[in-house]
């Protein structure tokens, strides 16, 4: 990581140190950034654009706010012909409306959700950065304990990103399009406010960067990596909406299906793992035998084969049982009617497979708790169930949580295998899109980035939960 | 327990021909041990390592199930007790390694079993716990976690935890042998107080000072058998058996 922990200085700030240039730089940067929003950002905007094609009819598009239309590419796709000319009609924006705040508030009323995300990324992130930077300085002054070190990584990342964001704001103004920019003859160039904001952000970033040795935290944590990956998706969608916006819209519901399958299965997996783990430490030979057999068999069969078995072979087995039991109409009818939809089959397959691995994790976790704990509880008159529930399991959870959390992350990835069961998950939607358009590179980059965001965010959540369940203090 | 001992004069602990072996009989840990402990008596058990002291103690509340023989607590034979958990609440046990619950605070350690076994409500359980913490001399550690306590403090919490169930019998398995010398006294003081209050106690310990001051009886075990069973005065003055003499010579220098 960027931070060398050995250089962390563990002492309180002396009076003079609190007034040193590092804090001043950060605070001044934050103030400049904040105040810059009162100055004009853009004094001209594109109200509409008229595009003519050599063969096809012309296309005219209206832009209600900061542009959110990808005019050139959009027009090209609509017209499907050779671009002849683009003519933009500009509109003056005066007074309060031209300031950063003016643009921000106008943008927040944006017509669609995609636009709103764009405006938050471009106009709001710098303000969040300024607030964090100011908070960092203020808390360092107020508190006795020295620098507010917790805030350093987040504020550093956000303030560095805010320079990028302000750049995006300008790109928005010309719709990421050099055609439109050329048409406007420089009228869309940023005003004094935007330049001031960039300078403020740069000062603040420099200030916080100079404070980096005051924290023992990693400057680049996995949250920010997840954030950067999400930002990359956003950027792809904004800069090249064709095909990325289209891919995003196409696979979006697949993300929801994947999440639904993963979360449902995970609930069942925890249950199966607990029961399996308890079975593996049971003194009852039958229970021990069954759970050991389950664990050993299932771990030896690939998940894909298990899924295919459940999806293709199980219904046939039900049918066969139904036919074989025709002398008992009730049983026969029940088996005859039994159907698995693809969603149930997917959840079943993932649960059976991951439950076996989870059972081993639970077993190891429970046996890692010293025997004396169970004995102490039993000697107080607790039943073995009570002792397990109140004494052993709460301690075992701490041991179990990291590996079982990793299982969640692995489950997200392995859930892509259910796409063979006609479940419209993220992977399958990607395959469908590719079959339609043959855009293999773009499709799979998008799918991969979506999985990355899911896995990075969930690893981080697991880490957070881990830190919450630690009880040695 | 329905039956009260004062009326019947039957010893509160009766051990009859207890045998216990490990590794399918290859290692005999208890070899035909019989013992009676009347109500209010303090018995100290001594003996070399591996002589079966812990095994006997653990058989008393069936943490270890004997191969044969009988343990009768307050008139109830444990082998037949369908209510083993209920009998266990009458027997407090203190371990060499304390075995406090590390995920619970001191107060919660003492309250937990009261709440779920004795079914006391939170307030009642807390009152009992606070009173006991007072008694063992660490009322200010209620909110601490076991890891934050010294060994002596942990062992006193463990005693309080066992006492919270209001047991009739207390078993101690080398309660001070994991402690630094300066902490041993604070634990022994609590045990001494308990003995003076009339608790029936079986104590495995090589603290001869405690045996001299508090014990009504000292039991010397070797090789899974009870070799000598006498008063502390008698034992220190004139041990009958050669093995006892040898052992005492070792621990008293
Ligand atoms: N769970 C067990 N499995 C196998 N052998 C055991 C078990 N518990 C005790 N033993 C054996 O039984 C014998 C008696 O053990 P016990 O713990 O009762 O001795 P002890 O007198 O308490 O010794 P110490 O003073 O070292 O605690 C020893 O040989 C020991 O190795
Ligand atoms: Mg022992």
Q: Whose CA is nearest to atom 4 of ligand 1?
A: B22
Residues near A101 by beta carbon (within 8 Å), at least 6 away in sequence: A37, A38
Largest separation between any pair of C-alpha atoms in chain A: 94
By the CB < 8 Å criterion, does B117 face chain A?
Answer: yes
User: Tokens 């004494």 correspond to what residue?
Assistant: A391
Q: What is the CATH number of domain A251-469?
A: 1.10.3720.10
- Residue B129 three-state SS: helix
Which burial class, exposed, middle or buried, applies to A308 when counting CB atoms under 10 A from its CB (0-12, 13-18, 19+)? middle
Q: How far is CA B232 from CA A19, A342, A351, B48, B248, in A?
A: 74, 78, 64, 17, 12
The ligand that comes nearest to the alpha carbon of residue B206 is 1
Confidence (pLDDT) at A301: 96
Helix crossing, A342-367 with A393-414: angle to 10°? 140
Q: Whose CA is nearest to atom 22 of ligand 1?
A: B54
Q: Which residues from chain B sit within 8 angstroms of residue A372, using beta carbons? A: 95, 97, 99
Interface of A with B in 398-437 (CB under 8 A): 398
Beta bridge partners of B93: B171
Instruction: Pick the atom of ligand 1 nearest to B53's CA.
Output: 21
**Averaged pLDDT, B221-240:** 92
Confidence (pLDDT) at A214: 79
What is the Cα–Cα distance from B55 to B67, expressed in whole angstroms? 12
- Quick: pLDDT tens for A295-310: 999 999 999 999 999 9
What is the Cα–Cα distance from A70 to A50, expressed in whole angstroms? 13
Is the per-residue pLDDT at B75 higher than 50?
Answer: yes
- Select from B18, B19, B22 the residue to mutate for testing ligand 1; criterion: most ligand atoms less than 8 Å from CB: B22
- Select from B18, B19, B54, B65 the residue to mutate for testing ligand 1; criterion: most ligand atoms less than 8 Å from CB: B54
Confidence (pLDDT) at A81: 58
**Averaged pLDDT, B40-59:** 95
| Structure tokens that stand for A284 in this block | 């009852």
Q: How far is the CA of B29 from the centre of ligand 2 (A)?
A: 11
Confidence (pLDDT) at A72: 54
Please report the sign of the dihedral spanned by the C-alpha atoms of residue B15, residue B21, residue B25, residue B28. negative
**Residue B228 and residue B220 in contact, taking contact as beta carbons nearer than 8 Å:** yes
Is the per-residue pLDDT at B64 higher than 70?
Answer: yes
Instruction: Give the residue from chain B lying closest to A391, CA to CA.
Output: B101
What is the Cα–Cα distance from A109 to A114, expressed in whole angstroms? 12
Interface of B with A in 166-225 (CB under 8 A): none
Contact criterion met (CB < 8 Å) for A381 and B89: yes
- Residue B238 three-state SS: coil
Residue A316: Cβ within 10 Å count: 9
Confidence (pLDDT) at A3: 41
| Structure tokens that stand for A87 in this block | 């003519």
**Residue A180 and residue A85 in contact, taking contact as beta carbons nearer than 8 Å:** no
What is the Cα–Cα distance from A180 to A147, expressed in whole angstroms? 47
β-sheet with B13-22: strand ranges across: B27-37, B13-22, B68-73, B76-77
Q: Which residues from chain B sit within 8 angstroms of residue A379, using beta carbons? A: 61, 63, 88, 91-93, 162
Q: What is the pTM of this model?
A: 0.80
Q: Give CA A414 to chain center in angstroms.
A: 18
The mean-pLDDT minimum among A228-237, B22-31, B158-167, B174-183 falls in: A228-237
Residues near A158 by beta carbon (within 8 Å), at least 6 away in sequence: A125, A128, A129, A132
Q: For chain B, what's the residue count?
A: 253
Query: Considering only CA atoms, which of B124, B189, B116 is closest in space to residue B155?
Result: B189
Q: Which residues from chain A sit within 8 angstroms of residue B91, using beta carbons? A: 379
Q: Which residues from chain B sit within 8 angstroms of residue A390, using beta carbons? A: 112, 116
Interface test with B, best of A378, A380, A472 (most B CBs within 10 A): A380
By the CB < 8 Å criterion, does A384 face chain B?
Answer: no
Confidence (pLDDT) at A59: 64
A465: left (phi over 0), alpha (psi -120 to 50) or beta: alpha
Confidence (pLDDT) at A466: 84
What is the Cα–Cα distance from A101 to A88, expressed in whole angstroms? 25
Confidence (pLDDT) at A173: 81
Q: Which residues from chain B sit within 8 angstroms of residue A375, using beta carbons? A: 63, 95, 99
Q: Which residues from chain B sit within 8 angstroms of residue A468, using beta carbons? A: none
Q: Whose CA is nearest to atom 31 of ligand 1?
A: B50
Confidence (pLDDT) at A19: 57
Contact criterion met (CB < 8 Å) for A376 and B95: yes
The per-residue b/e assignment along A30-52, b for 16 or more CB within 10 angstroms, e otherwise, is: bbbbbebbebbbbbbbbebbebb
Confidence (pLDDT) at A359: 97
Ligand 1 close to Cβ of residue B251 (< 6 A): no
Confidence (pLDDT) at A47: 81
The chain-wide mean pLDDT, for chain B, equals: 92
Contact criterion met (CB < 8 Å) for A391 and B112: yes
- Quick: pLDDT tens for A417-470: 999 998 999 999 999 999 998 899 999 999 999 999 999 999 988 888 888 876
Q: Quick one: three-class SS letters along A139-208? A: HHHHCCCCCCCCHHHHHHHHHHHHHHHHHHHHHHHCCCCHHHHHHCCCCCCCCHHHHHHHHHHHHHHHHH
What is the Cα–Cα distance from A442 to A132, expressed in whole angstroms? 36
Please report the sign of the dihedral spanned by the C-alpha atoms of residue A42, residue A224, residue A229, residue A458. negative
Is the per-residue pLDDT at B6 higher than 60?
Answer: no
Q: Which residues from chain A sit within 8 angstroms of residue B102, using beta carbons? A: 395, 471-472
User: In this predicted complex, what is the ipTM?
Assistant: 0.93
| Structure tokens that stand for A375 in this block | 């004995």
What are φ and ψ of residue A248, in 5° steps?
Answer: -55, -45
Confidence (pLDDT) at A7: 44
- Quick: pLDDT tens for B115-126: 999 999 999 999
Instruction: Give the residue from chain B lying closest to A371, CA to CA.
Output: B99
By the CB < 8 Å criterion, does B159 face chain A?
Answer: no
* pLDDT by residue, tens only, chain A of 473 residues: 344 444 444 445 555 555 578 889 999 999 999 999 999 998 888 887 777 766 666 666 666 555 555 555 555 555 555 666 677 788 888 889 889 998 888 877 766 777 787 788 888 999 999 999 999 888 887 765 567 778 888 889 899 989 989 988 888 887 777 777 877 888 888 999 999 999 999 999 999 998 888 777 777 767 778 888 998 898 888 777 778 888 998 999 999 999 999 999 999 999 999 999 999 999 999 999 999 999 999 999 999 999 999 999 998 888 888 888 888 888 888 887 778 889 999 999 999 999 999 999 999 999 999 999 999 999 999 999 999 999 999 999 989 999 999 999 999 999 999 999 989 999 999 999 999 988 999 999 999 999 999 999 999 888 888 888 765 54
Task: Report the alpha-carbon angle B5-B8-B12, nearest 5.
Answer: 40
The mean-pLDDT minimum among A106-110, A443-447, B30-34, B183-187 falls in: A106-110
Residues near A259 by beta carbon (within 8 Å), at least 6 away in sequence: A454
User: Tokens 């046990």 correspond to what residue?
Assistant: B93
Q: How far is the CA of B55 from the centre of ligand 1 (A)?
A: 6
By the CB < 8 Å criterion, does A380 face chain B?
Answer: yes
By the CB < 8 Å criterion, does B97 face chain A?
Answer: yes
Confidence (pLDDT) at A121: 84
Ligand 1 close to Cβ of residue B49 (< 6 A): yes
Ligand 1 close to Cβ of residue B205 (< 6 A): no
| Structure tokens that stand for A183 in this block | 């048409």
Ligand 1 close to Cβ of residue B55 (< 6 A): yes
Contact criterion met (CB < 8 Å) for B63 and A376: no
Query: Considering only CA atoms, which of A103, A100, A107 is closest in space to residue A193?
Result: A100
Query: What does the CA dihedral A111, A114, A117, A119 come to, rounded to 10 degrees?
Result: -50
Provide the shortest C-alpha distance from residue A408 to chain B (in Å): 25
User: Tokens 């996995």 correspond to what residue?
Assistant: A222
**Residue A291 and residue A359 in contact, taking contact as beta carbons nearer than 8 Å:** yes
By the CB < 8 Å criterion, does B238 face chain A?
Answer: no
Residues near A42 by beta carbon (within 8 Å), at least 6 away in sequence: A93, A98, A103, A170, A173, A188, A190, A191, A194
What is the Cα–Cα distance from A389 to A458, expressed in whole angstroms? 27
Q: Which residues from chain A sit within 8 angstroms of residue B86, using beta carbons? A: 381
User: Tokens 């859930």 correspond to what residue?
Assistant: A415
Candidate from A383, A391, A398 with C-beta closest to B101: A391
**Residue A132 and residue A5 in contact, taking contact as beta carbons nearer than 8 Å:** no
- Select from B27, B59, B207 the residue to mutate for testing ligand 1; criterion: most ligand atoms less than 8 Å from CB: B27
Ligand 1 close to Cβ of residue B22 (< 6 A): yes
| Structure tokens that stand for A279 in this block | 């079975």
Q: How far is the CA of B226 from the centre of ligand 1 (A)?
A: 15
Confidence (pLDDT) at A334: 83
Contact criterion met (CB < 8 Å) for A473 and B91: no
Chain region(s) in chain A for CATH 1.10.3720.10: 251-469
Q: How far is the CA of B50 from the centre of ligand 1 (A)?
A: 5
What is the Cα–Cα distance from B88 to B80, expressed in whole angstroms? 14
| Structure tokens that stand for A130 in this block | 């300024």
């Amino acid at each position: 990581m960027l931070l060398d922990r050995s250089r962390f200085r563990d002492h309180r700030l002396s009076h003079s140190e609190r007034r040193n240039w590092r804090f001043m730089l950060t605070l001044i940067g934050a103030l400049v950034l904040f105040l810059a929003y009162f100055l004009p950002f853009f004094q001209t905007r594109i109200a509409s654009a008229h595009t003519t094609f050599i063969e096809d009819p012309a296309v005219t598009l209206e832009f209600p706010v900061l542009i959110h239309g990808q005019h050139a590419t959009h027009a090209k796709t609509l017209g499907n012909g050779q671009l002849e000319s683009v003519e933009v009609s500009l509109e003056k924006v005066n007074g309060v409306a031209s300031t950063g705040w003016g643009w921000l508030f106008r943008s927040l009323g944006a017509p669609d959700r995609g636009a709103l995300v764009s405006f938050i990324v471009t106009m709001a992130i710098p303000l969040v950065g300024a607030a964090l930077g100011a908070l960092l300085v203020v808390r360092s002054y107020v508190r006795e304990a020295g620098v507010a070190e917790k805030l350093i990584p987040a504020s550093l990342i956000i303030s560095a990103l805010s320079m990028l964001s302000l750049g995006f704001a300008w790109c928005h103004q010309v719709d990421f399009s050099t055609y439109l920019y050329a048409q406007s003859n420089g009228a869309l160039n940023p005003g004094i406010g935007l330049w001031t904001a960039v300078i403020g952000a740069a000062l603040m970033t420099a200030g916080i960067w100079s404070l980096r040795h005051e924290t023992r935290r990693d400057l680049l944590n996995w949250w920010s990596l997840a954030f950067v990956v999400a930002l990359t998706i956003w950027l792809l969608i904004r800069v090249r909406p064709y095909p990325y916006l289209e891919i995003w819209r196409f696979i979006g519901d697949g993300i929801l299906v994947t999440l639904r399958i993963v979360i449902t299965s995970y609930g069942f997996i925890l249950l199966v793992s607990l029961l399996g783990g308890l079975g593996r430490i049971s003194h009852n030979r039958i229970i021990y035998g069954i759970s050991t057999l389950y664990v050993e068999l299932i771990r030896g069969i690939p998940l894909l084969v298990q899924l295919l078995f459940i999806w293709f072979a199980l219904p046939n087995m039900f049918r066969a049982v139904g036919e074989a039991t025709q002398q008992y109409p009730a049983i026969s009818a029940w088996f005859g009617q039994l159907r698995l939809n693809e969603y149930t089959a997917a959840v079943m397959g993932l649960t059976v497979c991951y439950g076996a691995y989870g059972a081993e994790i639970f077993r190891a976790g429970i046996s890692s708790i010293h025997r004396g704990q169970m004995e102490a509880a039993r000697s107080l008159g607790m039943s073995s169930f009570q002792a397990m529930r109140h004494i052993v399991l709460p301690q075992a959870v701490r041991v179990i949580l990291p590996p079982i959390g990793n299982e969640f992350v692995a489950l997200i990835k392995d859930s892509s295998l259910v796409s063979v069961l006609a479940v419209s998950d993220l992977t399958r939607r990607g395959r469908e899109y590719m079959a339609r358009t043959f855009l293999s590179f773009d499709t799979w980059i998008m799918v991969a980035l979506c999985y990355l965001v899911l896995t990075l965010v969930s690893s981080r959540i697991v880490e957070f939960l881990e830190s919450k369940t630690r009880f040695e203090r | 327990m329905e039956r009260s001992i004062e009326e019947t004069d039957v010893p509160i602990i009766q051990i009859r021909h207890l045998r216990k072996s490990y590794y399918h009989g290859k290692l005999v840990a208890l070899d035909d041990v019989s013992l009676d402990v009347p109500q209010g008596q303090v018995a100290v058990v001594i003996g070399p390592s591996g002589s079966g002291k812990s095994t006997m103690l653990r058989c008393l509340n069936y943490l270890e199930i004997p191969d044969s023989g009988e343990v009768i607590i307050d008139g109830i034979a444990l082998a037949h007790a369908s209510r083993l958990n209920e009998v266990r609440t009458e027997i407090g046990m203190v371990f060499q390694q304390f075995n406090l619950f590390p995920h619970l605070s001191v107060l919660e350690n003492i309250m937990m079993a009261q709440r779920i076994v004795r079914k006391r409500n939170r307030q009642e359980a807390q009152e009992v716990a606070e009173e006991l913490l007072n008694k063992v001399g660490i009322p200010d550690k209620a909110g601490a976690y076991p890891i934050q306590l010294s060994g002596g403090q942990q062992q006193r919490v463990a005693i309080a935890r066992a006492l919270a169930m209001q047991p009739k019998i207390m078993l101690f398995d080398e309660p001070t042998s994991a402690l630094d010398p300066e902490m041993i006294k604070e634990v022994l003081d609590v045990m001494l107080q308990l003995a003076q209050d009339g608790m029936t106690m079986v104590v495995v310990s090589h603290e001869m000072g405690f045996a001299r001051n508090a014990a009504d009886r000292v039991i010397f075990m070797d090789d899974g058998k009870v070799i000598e069973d006498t008063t502390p005065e008698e034992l220190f003055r004139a041990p009958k058996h050669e093995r006892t003499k040898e052992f005492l010579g070792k621990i008293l220098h």
